[in-house]
Amino acid sequence: MLGALKWLGLLCKSRMARLVLLLTGRVVLLADVATAYLEMHFADALKPQELEGGPVLFLPQLLHVLALHMKQVPPDGAYREVQGTLSSYLLLGLAEKLRELFGRAEIRGLKFFEGTSPLPLLLLRAMCFLGTVVCAYRAPKAGDTHQEVLEMFHDTELFGVVGILVSILLSEGRREKGAKLPQTVISICVQAVRILNHIARIDLPTVQKTLGASRQQEFYHLLVSLLDYCVGRLPASMVKPGPSGQAEESDLLHEAVVLLGFYCLQEPENQSILCYGEGQALLARLASLPLYYFMDERGKSILFPTILASCFRSEQNL
């Protein structure tokens, strides 16, 4: 099976092959296969001797192939078919199974990434797949499908990505200053925060309500952890994006700043998170970001909208 998936991955490097699978609906069958393999993986989770084999070896490649199809630009006139495929991905069980995968990973936290297990790769490919899907998804002009998608976002708590980020980053308490996270963890964090930002662009109230009052404390500590880690890895005098070795830390910081802006936008209760907690407030952390965010046009386009969203009509933050 693994050999067949590798062959399929090579085949799908061809634009024509991707279009055929996409427009004939056969790619949805691959999503059904992925759902079935996830069910098999969950069934095998109680059998430690089988943890490193079977579905966990097939799923990363399968999710990668599915993501390739969602990145394919459809030909003129095929937009509706592609959006139908995206809705199928989100509504026919695969999204819920991936949320369950993340929920199971929460139990182990950062220990999930110890050793040479293939499970972290599965987690990363799952995040990449969901990120590709929600990035490509557009609300239809008519019909009930979009409302069902929004309900799925709510029911799965945004695929559970906040829960797994909290588990990975905060389960072991405060890390030593300067300690570097595994590269796979950084990649997963980037994809997870991007997922939240993509969903915010689809329907902002869904993100604001899901991460609202009941989860505000958890969300606050997550943002503090992300900002402190990224700023600690990047020089304060940075006036342009970091070198390749710091690229993902830079991307993660960008995405975290944007997410904070979405969270606060025209939502007074959420704006209070900027002055929440003890020690240096989030607002002060924003003001202490590297010079890049105050001197470079792209950096300013990332930070300044977040500051505006955080302070607009907020007596507390002004």
Which region among 134-143, 180-189, 204-213, 285-294 has the lowest average model confidence (pLDDT)? Answer: 134-143
Give the per-residue pLDDT at 299. Answer: 93
Q: What percent of the chain has pLDDT over 90?
A: 47
Mention every residue, 6+ apart, whose C-beta is less than 8 A from residue 87: 137, 145, 148, 149
For 127-176, write each residue's pLDDT tens digit. Answer: 999 999 999 998 887 667 889 999 999 999 999 999 999 999 987 766 66
pLDDT at 205 over 50: yes
Per-residue exposure over 256-287, b if at least 16 CB sit within 10 Å of its own CB, e if not = bbbbbbbbbbebeebbbbbebeeeebbbebbe
Kindly report the average pLDDT of the chain as a whole number: 86
Which region among 31-40, 67-76, 118-127, 215-224 has the lowest average model confidence (pLDDT)? Answer: 67-76
Give the per-residue pLDDT at 12. Answer: 81
Give the per-residue pLDDT at 155. Answer: 93
Q: Helix or strand or coil: residue 79? A: helix
Q: What percent of the chain has pLDDT over 70?
A: 91
Comparing 52 with 45, the larger pLDDT belongs to: 45
The Cα–Cα gap between 120 and 185 comes to 8
Give the per-residue pLDDT at 49. Answer: 45
Find the mean pLDDT for residues 251-257.
96
Give the per-residue pLDDT at 195. Answer: 98
Give the per-residue pLDDT at 14. Answer: 85
* Confidence class for position 101, pLDDT limits 50, 70, 90: very high
| Highest-confidence segment of 35-44, 164-173, 204-213 | 204-213
pLDDT at 87 over 60: yes
Find the mean pLDDT for residues 180-201.
95
Which residue, 116, 110, 209, is CA-closest to 166? 110
Q: What residue ranges do the domains of the chain occupy?
A: 1-199, 211-318
Mention every residue, 6+ apart, whose C-beta is less than 8 A from residue 258: 197, 302, 305, 306
pLDDT at 314 over 90: no
Find out whether 223 and 282 touch, Cβ atoms under 8 Å.
Answer: yes
